[in-house]
Structure 1
Amino acid sequence: MVRNRTTPYLYLLPAFLVYGLFLLYPVARTAQFSLFDWPGFGPSTFVGFENYADLLEDGRFITAIGNALYLILFYSVLPLLVGLVLAATLRRGQVRGMGIYRVLIFLPQVIALVVVAVAWRQIYTPNGTLNQLLGLVGIETDTGWLGVPELALSAVGIIGFWLETGLVMLLLLAGMNRIPNDLYEATRLDGAGPISEFFAVTLPSVRGEIVTSMVLTIIAALKTFDLVYMTTSGGPGTATTVPSYEVYNRAFQLKEVGSASAVAIVLTVLVFVINIFVTRIGEERKVTR
């Protein structure tokens, strides 16, 4: 009996060791560093929760959190809305070459973000593709979209929207393809049109895929770093700085490892809380229904 009870845990032990070594241990060490004033080398000074208290009065950090939350609109909300429309259209219509469409829409996910950032940075330059296209429709401008504080964050967000829409659409389309055709036929017999059919059958049936896509895209929005680093480096000023970039900036540029660790821990907690909230809402609506 003892052997039978312990056998499942023995199978789980290797995975748990890997998980603990490469995730739990680094998080614990980061939390430890956040309690010290340390430049990354030499002696350190224990300061307790002073680094966290300083963040509450740090305008740059507060701006970074606000920017990250704003990016959720482009990374998660807009891709979800557009993805629902595209997936429902492809599911309902008889589209030839469906595999080709899926590959093209998902393509941004398989391209290295460094390549994506460099390409879009060229698009946004004063003589880039975007301004040239605007010129073709009679809008002459030489705006450097990533250099204008009021526009830079939205410009970065549009890149995130382009990146995430394909992933969200494919997740939703996979869920819609599992819906039995009998449900659609029943609603049509009741006289439901395409819009009523969407809200009565399609939307409730893909609630799990909606929650999954929101969790994935919200995480992507909150932890984005390489895209910001390669396009704007957090500028102009603090217009596009985000928590992940602040971790890099404080640790490697300002040599404030303790403060950087505190930012990392706060970001981890923020990601965890928001995604628990999204998951719980999805589960409660499912139970209610």
Structure 2
Amino acid sequence: MEISTKRSKRKRLLTAYSFILPNFLGFFIFTLIPVCFSLFLAFMEWDSFSAPKFVGFQNFIRITKDTTFWISLKNTFLYTVGVVPLTLACSLGLAILLNQKIRGMKLFRTAFFFPYVTSLVAVAVVWNMLFHPSLGPINQFLELIIANPPAWTSSSDWALTAIVIVSVWRGMGYYMILYLAGLQGIPRELYEAASMDGAGRWKQFLNITLPSLRSTTFFVTIMLIINCFKIFDLVQVMTGGGPGRSTNVLVYQIYNEAFVKFNFGYASAIALVLFIIVLSITVFQFKWNQIQERA
């Protein structure tokens, strides 16, 4: 009886492992090995045509003297500072609005979520048409209000702002869904008790809604920051890093160094620096969130 039980347990374990094995194999082949190889290349000079040459920390020394890297880093931070708070505010506002019992609520939720699952290339092309300096409907409308509307993606001063606007518009529907889940988990009794105590909508929002959504906001913020530092596709399609280097971001520079200039070692070094920056920000946020929860 005991032997039969052990065999049955072993069979169940083998069945379970067989289900998760493809995921582990995929992670090992397509994620772990490339990441380890990238760490190895960060200390090498390699153009993919010749054998890798060990150069030590030369790639990292080169980073400190590379003006394009510092411009890309600044643009990445500016993009993050623009996208994160705006997306948080818009997604939370939409979630609160669409958490009400209104007619056609599911249709509205679907409409706001739809941009997130739409082809990003199609989204970027359409927005480029909308942002056209002379023929785009955005500037045609703005000309009724101001004399000289921005040139958007054709202007080094406004191109990054245009990408921020598109990113917020595309992402807020996804994060709205996360906030909706958080809002629906807040007990209605809290609002009823606050209403009986004379608290208005604004006080209920500040003292009930926001504190109850702290964990959701923390998760959304982490995901937003990571995604902002990974921005590439919108930049590639909408501006190509230009005009000049005004929208050149870190991932776009990594792409250029690796697949345009074939400096795979230097590109890997920039990727390692990017990884350290994102990891540092994430760890800081986790520590800050722990301090806030204890307070």
What TM-score, normalized by structure 2, do the two folds share?
A: 0.89
Partner of 1:34 in structure 2? 42
Q: Is the 8 A contact 1:146 1:231 kept in 2?
A: yes
Task: State the aligned residue count.
Answer: 286
Between 1:14-23 and 1:179-188, the stretch displaced more is: 14-23
Partner of 2:59: 51
Cross-structure match for 2:118? 111
Any conservation in 2 of the 1:34–1:262 contact (CA below 8 Å)?
yes
Closer/same/farther in 2, CA of residues 252 and 15 from structure 1, 3 Å limit: closer
Secondary structure at 1:149 match in 2: coil
Q: CA deviation at 1:13?
A: 5.9
Structure 2 counterpart SS, 1:150: coil
Counterpart position of 2:137: 129
For 2:37 and 2:196, locate their aligned partners in 1 and report how far apart those are by CA, in whole Å.
Answer: 61
Match of 1:65 in 2: 73
2:197 to 190, 195, 198: 190
Q: Alignment partner of 2:222: what SS?
A: helix
TM-score (normalizing by structure 1): 0.90
Find out whether 1:157 has 2:164 as its counterpart: yes
Unaligned runs of 5+ in 2: 1-5
Q: Which moved more, 1:220-229 or 1:79-88?
A: 79-88
Instruction: Find 1:167's aligned residue among 174, 186, 191.
Output: 174
1:1-289 equivalences in 2 (<5 Å)? 11=17, 15-91=23-99, 93-127=100-134, 128-135=136-143, 137-141=144-148, 143-286=150-293, 288=294
Cα distance in 2 for residues equivalent to 1:266 and 1:139 = 43
Q: Which moved more, 1:263-272 or 1:172-181?
A: 263-272
Aligned-pair distance for 1:242? Answer: 0.6
CA contact (8 A) 1:153 1:239 kept: yes
Cα displacement string for residues 229-267 of structure 1 (whole angstroms, at most 9, x for unaligned residues): 111111111100011101111112222111111111211
> How many percent identity over aligned positions?
36
Q: How big is the shift at 1:145?
A: 1.2
The one-letter code of the counterpart of 2:282 is N
Contact 1:125 1:143 in 2 (8 A): no
User: Would you say the 8 A contact 2:231–2:249 is kept in 1?
Assistant: yes
Query: CA 1:20/1:152 → structure 2, altered by over 3 Å: closer, same or farther?
Result: same
> Which amino acid counterpart does residue 166 of structure 1 have in structure 2?
G
Report the residue type matching 1:22 in the other structure.
Answer: F
In the alignment, the residues of structure 2 paired with residue 229 and residue 219 of structure 1 have an alpha-carbon distance, to the nearest angstrom, of 18
CA radius of gyration, larger in: 2
Q: Tell me the alpha carbon deviations over residues 29-57 of structure 1, each in whole angstroms, 9 at most, x when there is no partner.
A: 01111111112212332101110121112
Amino acid across the alignment from 1:87: A
Shift of 1:14: 5.4
Find the aligned partners of 1:122 and 1:283 in 2 and give their Cα distance. Answer: 45
Q: Counterpart in 1 of 2:3?
A: none
* Distance across 2 between alignment mates of 1:74 and 1:100: 29
SS at match of 1:43: coil
Deviation at 1:70, TM superposition (A): 1.1
| Contact 1:118/1:230 (<8 A) preserved | yes
